[in-house]
Structures are given as structure tokens and as C-alpha cells.
A = this chain, B = another copy of it.
Amino acid sequence: MITRKEALKLDRADPFARKRKLFSIPRGMIYLDGNSLGVMPKAAPARVKHAVEVEWGRDLITSWNKHGWFHLPRKIGDKIARVIGAEEGSVAVADTISVNLFKVLSAAVQKRHERKIILSDSGNFPSDLYVAQGLSQFMADGHTLKVVEPEQVLDAITEEVGVVMVTEVDYRSARRHDMKAITARAHEKGALVIWDLAHSAGAVPGRLMEVDADFAIGCTYKYLNGGPGAPAFAFIHPRLQNEVMPALVGWWGHAKPFAFAQSFEPAPGVTRLQCGTQPMLNMVALDAAMDAYRGVDMVKLHAKAARQCQMFAELAEERCGKFGISVHGGRDWAARGSHVCLAHEEAYAVMQALISRKVIGDFRAPNLMRFGFTPLYVGYADVYDAVEHLYVVLSKRLWDKPKFKAKAAVT
């Protein structure tokens, strides 16, 4: 078993250690929830303050030109493109991930309108399933969402399937789909594929062009540290960009938005996924956050995360297995996402006790504690110390208090 001294040694040798300095990590906190809401980049407060006081407060409406508000989503899209393995000009930044899924799903369904099955799996984030259910029910023409187990996706891609809609990294088990194999099979059978990169973007190497993905969506407030409710992104493969049309369109996606024509004419490329006016205070925070990914080798970054996940899981089992802790999900560390779920029958209370000790993860019903390892700012000693806190909480039964058992409104 690794010692704390060895963990510190790994930190000293960590090529990403200098990146940690770009983030504001509260003193004494071990933050392992960057897969839910990333920590604040140090560049964010000044950038937002400028947007509020100078851009909004002083320059007002002229900021759409003067401070580049109108084109900021595309500029950020290019920064994200580099992280997710997409080409420049193929990523739009707008709205929420569910809204973007609706846009690309409606576009894909329309492109394959003769096929009625949207295929997904039970490991997908529920909101993605809701989007497909809402769209299918609205269409009322026989379109249905078919949900299989994650291991069955490949075999379930038949010639009846129009769209395969899957999330690369499972939000609980961190199981990663084989993007290349699923995309290839879908194309072989004539289906289109939408990849949800919510738990991938900024955590695992981006390979959209390499795997020949048709569409992708993702959020930016997790590993990309864009801030609470930061705008989401959407990708369309260049070969499809001018061939597809979302059901949801608006003036920001018009070829000439300021001509105020009465008929919609889609902008060329991915810009047609833009719809309405975007939240600029959140947008500038995201812009600042994306700079932290400059020069980052995503393969090396994920290798660090995989090592941290393995270290955490093995230490947790070794130290805390006797208190009922077990690792949820697979152990092929290189082929997983960047988080680890631990199962425990009192998971909610244990997590609350950990939070009271400034070890922050989150709870996923019914019995999972989820810990994310954002390799840009989490150190190996953090991983070691988190397990020690868990050991203390469990060995001393610190979780067994009413204040930790009472569930909050939002969990």
C-alpha cells in the first residue's frame, strides 16, 4: 500500500502540478467533486468583474461589438474543440446540455426519419433519456427510445436503429464506452451516433474526429471548470454540418441574424445550433476557465487521473473494506473515466460527515459516494488524505449522527 510520503513524492514529480496554481482551492479542503462543479479558476473573478462593471455597467449595449460578446461562444467553442478532439469551427457553445441534446437528437432523427428507434443504455444520465422520451412522445409517429444495458449497446445496433445516443463515461460507475467500436458499428448499420461527453470533456482524451463521431454534446461546469451552470457545447462532424437541421432554431443560428428576415435561413456550419442570446456573465467565466487547458496533453492528463482513481479505490478498500466500503464499477483504470464511486449502506450520512471534514464528494442514490479526480488540480496527497478521513469517519462511526442523516432538499 502506498504511503503518504510516496504520495507527496508523486506530487513533486507531477508535470501538472503548476496547473494547480491556476485554481482557487479553499484552504484545508480536499475537493473531489470537480466532476459535478469544478473549482474556480483564479482568473475568473477579475474576468467576471470586468464583464459586470466595465462591459455591462459602462459600455452597455456596445459590448456586443466592443467586447466581442456576440462571437464569444464560437471562440470558446474552438478552445473546447482542442480538448475533445474536434476541428476548429465545429463546436458551438450555448444553452444547457439537455437543450443541446434536443437540438442534435432532433436533427439526427430527422436525418434518419425512416428509422424509428433511438437506442440508449441504462447507464446514460437520466436527463438524456428524458430528452429522448419527450421528443419521441411529441413526434407521436412511432419513434421510441430503446434502453438496453451498457454491455448490450453494440449488439443492439441493428438496421432499425436511426440514432445511437450514449454517454461515454457512466456518471456512477465511470465505465467508458468504446467510442470507436460503437461509432463504427452504427455507421456500418446506417445509424448516426450522438456522444454525450458530460463526464469526459477535460477528463479523458478527446477523440471525436478520430472515432468519426457524428454529433457530441457536453457540459463545461464539471472538469472544464466553467462555473455554476456554465453554457454547454455541441459538436457536429464537418461532413454533416450543412446537412442537418435541428427542430429548435433561433435568430443566433440565422445566416444573417441582423437582417431580421421573416424566414429562417440556417447559418453555415455548426452556428445553426446557436439559438438565442447567451448568458454573458457565465460565458466570460467559461472563457477564462478554458485557458487552463492550454498546452495540456490529454493522454498524460488522463493517465494521472487513472492512477489517482486506482490509488483511491485500492486504499479505500484496504483501509475501509472492513467497515462496509466497496468499489462500484470496473477496475480497468485506463479505460475508465475520472471518478470513483464507493458503495456503503449509509452512504448519505458518511458523505455528510466527510463534507464536515472538508472532504467534498457527492451522494448518488441509493448508496453511492462519488469522488471525482480532476487531474488539473487534485494531488496524490489529497487522494491519500481523503481515504484517511474516510477511515476516521467510519472507524469512529462519526457519520452516525442525526445532523448527517437528515437529507437536504437537493442531494
A residues contacting B by CB (< 8 A) are 24, 26, 31, 33, 36-37, 39-40, 44-45, 48-49, 51-53, 55-58, 60-65, 69-71, 95-99, 102, 106, 110, 113, 122, 125-127, 129-131, 133-135, 137-141, 147, 219, 221, 227-232, 245-251, 253-254, 258-264, 275-283, 285, 355, 360, 362, 364-365, 408-411
Contact yes or no, B251 A98, CB < 8 A? yes
Tell me the complex Cα distance, A97–B281, Å: 17
Contact yes or no, B229 A278, CB < 8 A? yes
Contact yes or no, B99 A275, CB < 8 A? yes
Contact yes or no, B45 A53, CB < 8 A? yes
Pick from B40, B131, B263: contact of A249, CB under 8 Å: B131
Tell me the complex Cα distance, A258–B408, Å: 11
User: Can you report 22 residue pairs joining A to B where beta carbons are below 8 Å apart?
Assistant: A33-B61, A40-B57, A44-B52, A49-B52, A60-B360, A65-B409, A96-B250, A98-B250, A98-B275, A99-B248, A99-B250, A99-B276, A126-B254, A126-B261, A130-B251, A134-B247, A134-B248, A134-B249, A227-B280, A228-B280, A281-B281, A281-B285
- A410 — which chain B residues lie within 8 A by C-beta? 64-65, 70, 258
Q: Given contacts A26-B60, A48-B281, A138-B247, is CB(A276)–CB(B36) below 8 Å?
A: no
Pick from B24, B95, B135, B230: contact of A57, CB under 8 Å: B24
The winner among A39, A56, A279 for most chain B CB atoms within 10 A is A279
Residue of B nearest to A59 (CB): B26
Pick from B26, B137, B262, B365: contact of A147, CB under 8 Å: B262
- A110 — which chain B residues lie within 8 A by C-beta? 138
Pick from B60, B147, B253: contact of A31, CB under 8 Å: B60
Tell me the complex Cα distance, A170–B39, Å: 44
In the assembled complex, how far is the CB of residue A364 from the closest CB belonging to chain B, in whole angstroms?
7
- A258 — which chain B residues lie within 8 A by C-beta? 365, 410-411
The 10 A-B residue pairs whose C-beta atoms are closest, nearest first, are A96-B276, A98-B250, A138-B247, A127-B251, A98-B276, A228-B280, A279-B282, A134-B249, A279-B279, A130-B264
